[in-house]
């Protein structure tokens, strides 16, 4: 595993898992949201996004955190492993609500240098809410990712399906042990 894409629906824990895995493997951690979002919640154009992603992925090994189907053509040519974080609906819903509440309460900048912060209005009372996004897309993403795992974009990609927090923690422990020798 040298070039890993961690996927999962919003609130599934991709960022937590990806950053821990990158640290464990001592490779670059690339957060796709941070490459996509500009100040004032503006998204990068497709070309800007792919250019940023190309630059970030120019190193030999990395863990890429995110879905963004508009980057699939780029990603599937480079990844050797896809890890799907696939927790149950209630767990994912709880996580996205907890994260949104925390961000709105603390007014923490979501991606450094963007000035983007979540508010209670944006998080809980807006169609732009990540909670709303998760509710609308959870089942659709589950079906889409199941198809991807059953039929990866090329035969060289290894697919790993993580279904619980314990599975995630055990996977990380196993990777640490492999790195240690």
- Asked if pLDDT for residue 132 goes beyond 90, the answer is yes
Phi, then psi, of 164 in degrees rounded to 5: -150, 165
Domains belonging to the chain, first-starting first, are 3-180 (3.40.50.300)
What does the chain come to in residues? 181
Each residue of 53-66: pLDDT tens digit? Answer: 999 999 999 999 99
Task: Tell me how crowded residue 88 is: count the other CB atoms within 10 A of its CB.
Answer: 11
Does residue 181 have a pLDDT over 80?
A: no
- CA–CA separation, 91 and 62 (whole Å): 27
pLDDT tens figures, 1-19: 999 999 999 999 999 999 9
What would the pLDDT profile of 61-117 be if each residue is shown by its tens digit? 999 999 999 999 889 899 999 999 999 999 999 999 999 999 999 999 999 999 999
pTM of the complete model: 0.94
């Amino acid at each position: 595993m040298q070039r890993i894409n961690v996927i999962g629906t919003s609130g599934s824990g991709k960022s937590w898992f990806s950053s821990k895995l990158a640290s464990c493997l001592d490779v670059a951690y690339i957060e796709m949201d941070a490459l996509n979002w500009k100040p004032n919640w503006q998204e990068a154009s497709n070309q800007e996004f792919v250019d940023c992603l190309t630059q970030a992925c120019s190193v030999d090994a990395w863990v890429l955190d995110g879905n963004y189907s508009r980057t699939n053509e780029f990603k599937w040519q480079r990844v050797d492993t896809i890890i799907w974080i696939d927790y149950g609906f209630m767990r994912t819903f709880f996580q996205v609500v907890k994260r949104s509440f925390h961000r709105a309460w603390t007014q923490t900048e979501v991606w450094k240098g963007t000035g983007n912060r979540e508010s209670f209005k944006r998080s809980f009372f807006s169609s732009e809410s990540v909670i709303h996004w998760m509710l609308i897309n959870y089942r659709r993403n589950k079906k889409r990712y199941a198809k991807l795992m059953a039929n990866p974009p090329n035969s060289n990609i290894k697919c790993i399906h993580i279904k619980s927090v314990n599975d995630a923690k055990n996977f990380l422990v196993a990777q640490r042990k492999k790195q240690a020798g």
